[in-house]
Amino acid sequence: MTRERLPDRRPNETTNLLFGGLRFAVTIGFFFDGRPGEVFASGAKSGCDLDYLLDDACVALSLLLQHGVEPAALARSMGRTEEIVVGRLKAESDVPVTGPASIIGALADRLTEYAVSQRPAPLEIPEAGGQEEASATRVAENLPSEPWQAAAALSRIAS
């Protein structure tokens, strides 16, 4: 499959991810249809091995997304381990629960969450009535609240 490049200006969202007792800032860039297309993460000490590994992992994950690999397929292919919650194994309950074995798996899980739960509905673009131009206020009031939908609407209005 060929690589589908992201537009130069694209919607994105930054969130926090806790893994291994560390907090990571994760930014996910989206295609205009709402699919995740890239991921960046920071939070490791700058210049350490984990920082370099995280940068390279994000490049690899982003390229896989741009070549059409679904986030859920990425998450399923990562190693899993028992999650520890409040000092005890969740797997001690009746239903064993596993979590990502590495920060890379945690990133793949986060991409899957965005792909499944936040896929936008088809976008309706507000039209200017008759020959008149739409005012910036009227257009802004009608823009969707989700970042990727708003960016798609603005790009269509501008063209």
Every domain of the chain and the residues it spans: 12-117, 124-159
> pTM of whole model > 0.75?
no
pLDDT given at position 147: 54
The 10s digit of each residue's pLDDT in 50-69 is: 899 999 999 999 999 999 99
> What three-state secondary structure class fits 131?
coil
How far apart CA 17 and CA 44 sit, in angstroms, is 12
Please name every residue paired with 82 in a beta bridge, in sequence order, or none if there are none.
98
Q: Which of 63, 49, 87 is nearest to 1 (CA)?
A: 63
